[in-house]
Amino acid sequence: MVALRSYVNGDWHVPSDEGAPLHDAVTGDEVARVSSAGIDMASVLEHGRSKGGPALAELTFHQRAALLKALASHLREHREELYALSARTGATLADSKFDIDGGIGVLFSYSSKGRRELPNDTVYVDGSVEALGKGGTFVGQHVCTPLRGVAVQINAFNFPVWGPLEKFAPAFLAGVPTLIKPATQTAYLTHRLVELMVESDLLPEGSLQLVCGSVGDLFDHLTDQDLVSFTGSAATGQRLRAHPVVAANSVRFNVEADSLNCSVLGPDAVPGTDEFKLFVKQLVTEMTVKAGQKCTAIRRALVPEHLLDDVVEAARERLARVVVGNPASEQVTMGALASLEQREEVRRSLKALLEAGTLVHGDPERVEVVDADAERGAFLPPLLVRCADPELPQPHEVEAFGPVSTIMPYRDADHAVELARRGKGSLAGSVVTADAEFARKVVLGAASRHGRMLVLNSRNAKESTGHGSPLPMLVHGGPGRAGGGEEMGGIRGVLHHMQRTAVQADPDTLTAVTGQWVTGSQRNTADQHPFTKYLEDLRIGDSVVAGPRKVTLEDVQHFAEFTGDTFYAHTDEEAARANPFFEGKVAHGYLVVSFAAGLFVHPDPGPVLANYGLENLRFLTPTYPGDEITVTMTAKQITPRVNAEHGEVRWDVDVTNQNGDSVAKYDVLTLVAKRPEEQK
């Protein structure tokens, strides 16, 4: 059996020894061998820094996002091959889709968010401009740039596709190359995934590397520009986090570790209600998907005291319908654990749990399987523990990482919160209830020790992704025992791979650094109206100044009658004067904005295709009948869209009165055409 190759330094590396065997979780047959012997870890990191980093730095966020989308489409074409290989890890087809389709979905999601929420540029501007002096010549703003290192990901065995992809996507979008180190038990599936990614020929050289086997002395060569993202046991995470190089260089280290997640059944969810059924169904699902080998699985089911026996009986009835065996068999609903070693680890953990409870379903030493050998394969039945005394420590301290869950009672909402918090840090918790006040009390009470909280009821059940499904747009990590990190989390995950730097400068220099026009920097009003320019011809700072236009009392009265906005400040002189903010009747703010549009808009057909939004509107000074308004509109940010014949332009709009006071400030968003092909 040939050992898996690693992809390092731009080529496939064959180990210098025969490697350790990896076995099919279902049949026990040898699948492959794994070893990292002969790899120079220092050169692997340097290759990422010197080749991958610069190559990614040349691409904008939108270009990287487009590559993620293309990569996702490429992987989607090879799903069937990945499903077949995933079955050898013990996964059913549903489990495989959860892992593989979920990972591909993360790529699509980050691609979409990158194009919607990040600029078509290489620098990300974080927050507003801060005035640092009274005269407006000294200002500051935060910018984020990619770290000049490598994102090292050390993954767990349970999600050999989703795990690498959920870490790769935000790093790649940020412009940081990735080194994947898969868990040994299921490395053969991750290996094929990376082969497909490399074969796509979409990724810049050095932006993706793979080490199958031990990391060796890799940690000795980390710098302050590198990052580590670890998923696995808390003990291993703590050991790696304490590595002297990690500590000395303040290496960013993200851990996703053990998590004793809970699900709380509300007192309103009595037998017969939709919520009772949802709770039991969700509990059994979380116990059996991936054979319970999920860091988000429900380990503690907290139910009202008077419903304990009802829940146990309903769960047993549903668990009895679970069919264990070869995932290739259509009737099988739960496959094997990832390895025989993992099965023994679950059995050891179960013994500790049974010091605090009794087994009410399943036998860890005996399991009936379909189309497989129960001993050669890493099979266990679903194992349900009933703990009558929730104050005992074992259910809150021992995680059996398999198809195991413990049901225990609580007295009231405060007690449920106390028990939920005894997990000392969880990735996910859920509350199944139709009682919004009960949900509020539990969610807010338990939130500081949870990364994610799901409230499930009949109103959202059809659309809910469930207790154990992390989503790329939301925080996935958790505090305390769960590792203390915040994996994914949308753009937060991207910014984790970047350095936030405060830039202090004059407005012109800050505009040049950020690529976005800053108040106080130069404007270009000398040439043609900016609305007559194609996207390629527009420049940051292109402006138009228009006006003045007098606002009359008749204008205000007509606008009130025409729109139906007869708020007293616009129609009643005496009432308006009684208002502490006004001296008499005032013009509608939206009248001012409408008049401003009439001043700056160019009437002829041209490159401006549409106004699709207005943001950050603030009315700063009242406009009274008789005032004259002038508008200054400046191109603030220009964002070409990849693979589109138009782009987006953000305009800074400042409406002033005859005294030079700003009466309204806002951003206008327009879609502007690129130059037609025949004119390029």
Residues involved in catalysis = 256, 295
DSSP run (H or E) holding 656? strand 646-656
3-class secondary structure, 663: strand
**Bridge partners, 255 (sequence order):** 230
Nearest residue to 158 via CA among 29, 291, 27, 6: 291
Tokens of 290: 């991936």
Phi and psi at 632, nearest 5°, equal -120, 120
Phi and psi at 474, nearest 5°, equal -120, 155
3-class secondary structure, 477: coil
Burial 458-487 (b: 16+ CB within 10 A, else e): eeebeebebbbbbbbeebbbbbbbbbbbbb
Nearest residue to 87 via CA among 290, 288, 232: 290
Length of the chain: 680
Q: Contact 64/146 with Cβ under 8 angstroms?
A: no
Tokens 């079955």 map to which residue? 87
Q: Contact 161/238 with Cβ under 8 angstroms?
A: no
**Bridge partners, 504 (sequence order):** 140
- The CA–CA distances, whole Å, from 577 to 18, 584, 664 equal 89, 4, 21
Distance of alpha carbon 55 from alpha carbon 206, whole angstroms: 8
Q: Contact 588/556 with Cβ under 8 angstroms?
A: yes
Q: Contact 423/398 with Cβ under 8 angstroms?
A: no
SS3 labels along 354-408: CCCCEEEECECCECCCECCCCCCCCCCCCEEEECCCCCCCHHHHCCCCCCEEEEE
Distance of alpha carbon 35 from alpha carbon 17, whole angstroms: 7
Residue type, 294: K
Count of CB atoms situated within 10 Å of the CB of 300: 25
Distance of alpha carbon 434 from alpha carbon 411, whole angstroms: 18
- Residue 492 gets which letter from DSSP? H
Beta strand 30-34 with 20-23 is: antiparallel
Dmax (CA) of the chain = 92
Tokens of 9: 């330094």
3-class secondary structure, 549: strand
- Distance between first and last Cα of the chain: 58
Distance of alpha carbon 601 from alpha carbon 50, whole angstroms: 48
